[in-house]
Structure 1
């Protein structure tokens, strides 16, 4: 009888799911406050990771706080294991660029997924202003003795930081332009009205295609998309915002592809995360790309293969993620 019990026990063990024997791992994924897109992404990404198959039984706690400038530091310092960030902010944090990160470099983060959502830097000017002033490029506007009235989001957004770096490429700065009386920083709810009322001339933004304010602006006021020089684009690329073409027809008033800077949303991990854990969660998320696209239309254009490349991952890949991408033949 004992013999039969042992055989039965062995048979039962042989059909038990492997997850029972997997090593448990607890991860913290930092997103942003409820209501933000990263918070919504975090819930679904966490579910996918928790159901992943592999050597580890992974559980995920989504941290409902953080943001674009907080998350790179939180992940790098180990306050979180994973986090959504703008690739540009990840570079600024890694290199200690700007007053937000100077003296507190956060260089212990690595990319898991790149190019989740592409945000384009746009310089949109009222058509009547361009026709009246004769200023047709960003460089001409900054150098003019009578520059346009720029409107952008308030402090706390990445937009003023990006605008400052663009001005710096032309030997100016946000503070310099502010001292000339050309800068208004205001809530997004008021930007479209200012352009309609002609109390602002040029709107600087950094957002995915279809962003509500830019859509409203271009639908209610005749606008043109103003190019920046290669000098500006090269400077931005060095700061984690590589060149890209915003697709033709993204907004009314856009004629042809718009060459500009791009800041992808990426998922990063602490560099000390176990390689096997990083591999397992990378595989799970990539292989659930269709589910992610169906759940979040904003991520429908995410191409995991493109996201593994340097222009969309931007910072170094985690070795575990890189291993998965090499297996797929996407990187060398």
Structure 2
């Protein structure tokens, strides 16, 4: 699997040479495959860049490939000028953390726009399992002599990496839990069925509100959200995954807010991006905020001012973006 991912990454990184910054410039946006949210967002951002006003005549080219763990390296190595990424993956790429990024850190990554879309880490258990075992918290489940059957997405998703950090906070790891027979990694399409038929007990996910599997589970299976301790949530902050509250009512039968971790979608660039180009794109994005929110309900919660703050930008801001935010009085 890792060799396949590396081959795909090599193809992306070799795809296009670095653009030269002139008065006319093409901005390459790496998003994800057609049919995904990031691809749709990329097309909309491309149109915003095409219409942007300023010193540069910018034209956007949306690259219909990539993904959360690929895009940071594509931007860092110059095969794209802008990329969609989760803030934590961008941080891991910048610092060379984890097998995906070890030995090829992208120290030149910077944030252009932060906090575009929240993605919540959730732990969902079958109510029957909780009532039968009396295990009501994530910590209790992980530390139990007979842990539940956890189900999560396959390697290649960032969910296993997040889960590994969550287990690490409790003195174990994904690998150790796998050795105990407690981990089943399977395609998202099969997870809801496994929870319904009782072949899985607990589902670890990281996704925006309205994600299909979570919605299906909430509507078709008697499940509860399992709380994480401050120990787990604070550890996630340390690895670049800030805390957030999943609001009450986000899913049927949800009782109160749910303390969670957030992997916000951000727009990343490298330090090679011209400061004035970055300024022009940032201004255009902020000014198009209402248009984006109207076109894409998951982006309705994007607050550009909040997105400029360290907890949502996570990486250092690109100097051109920082200049725009400073002029707005949003940062010092």
TM-score higher than 0.5 here? yes
Matches within 5 A, 1:51-200: 51-200=51-200
Structure 1 stretches of 4+ with a deviation exceeding 3 A read none
Query: 2: distance between equivalents of 1:313 and 1:253?
Result: 32
- The structure with the largest alpha-carbon Rg is 1
Query: 2: distance between equivalents of 1:107 and 1:232?
Result: 27
TM-superposed CA distance for 1:196, in Å, is 0.9
Q: Deviations over 1:93-122 (max 9, x none)?
A: 111111111111111111111111100000
TM-superposed CA distance for 1:230, in Å, is 1.2
Query: 1: distance between equivalents of 2:218 and 2:92?
Result: 31
TM-superposed CA distance for 1:253, in Å, is 3.2
Length, aligned pairs only: 311
Q: Deviations over 1:217-276 (max 9, x none)?
A: 111111111111111111111111101101111112321111111000000111121111
Query: 2: distance between equivalents of 1:127 and 1:139?
Result: 17
Matches within 5 A, 1:199-278: 199-278=199-278
Residue in structure 2 matched with residue 40 of structure 1 by the alignment: 40
TM-superposed CA distance for 1:189, in Å, is 1.2
Compute the TM-score of the two structures, normalised by the length of structure 1. Answer: 0.92
Residues 130 and 136, structure 1, Cα contact 8 Å, conserved in 2: yes
Residues 225 and 253, structure 1, Cα contact 8 Å, conserved in 2: no
Residues 125 and 223, structure 2, Cα contact 8 Å, conserved in 1: yes
2:83 partner SS? strand
Q: Deviations over 1:101-150 (max 9, x none)?
A: 11111111111111111000000111111111111111111110011110
TM-superposed CA distance for 1:64, in Å, is 1.0
1:316 aligns with 2:301: no
1:263 partner SS? coil
Query: 1: distance between equivalents of 2:277 and 2:261?
Result: 33
Query: 1: distance between equivalents of 2:176 and 2:145?
Result: 13
Q: Deviations over 1:286-325 (max 9, x none)?
A: 1011111122122111111111111111111111111111
Residues 25 and 57, structure 1, Cα contact 8 Å, conserved in 2: yes
1:99 partner SS? coil
Structure 2 gap segments, 5+ residues each: 1-21
Query: 2: distance between equivalents of 1:174 and 1:253?
Result: 30
Structure 1 gap segments, 5+ residues each: 1-21
Residues 111 and 267, structure 1, Cα contact 8 Å, conserved in 2: yes
Residues 209 and 298, structure 2, Cα contact 8 Å, conserved in 1: no
TM-superposed CA distance for 1:81, in Å, is 0.7
CA RMSD of aligned residues (A): 1.1
Q: Which moved more, 1:33-42 or 1:202-211?
A: 33-42
Residues 122 and 225, structure 1, Cα contact 8 Å, conserved in 2: yes
Query: 1: distance between equivalents of 2:29 and 2:125?
Result: 39
TM-superposed CA distance for 1:58, in Å, is 0.8
Query: 1: distance between equivalents of 2:136 and 2:289?
Result: 41
Residue in structure 1 matched with residue 325 of structure 2 by the alignment: 325
Query: 2: distance between equivalents of 1:232 and 1:135?
Result: 17
Residues 308 and 331, structure 1, Cα contact 8 Å, conserved in 2: yes
1:61 partner SS? strand
Residues 222 and 253, structure 1, Cα contact 8 Å, conserved in 2: no
Query: 2: distance between equivalents of 1:272 and 1:110?
Result: 10
Compute the TM-score of the two structures, normalised by the length of structure 2. Answer: 0.92
Residue in structure 1 matched with residue 10 of structure 2 by the alignment: none
Query: 2: distance between equivalents of 1:103 and 1:292?
Result: 37
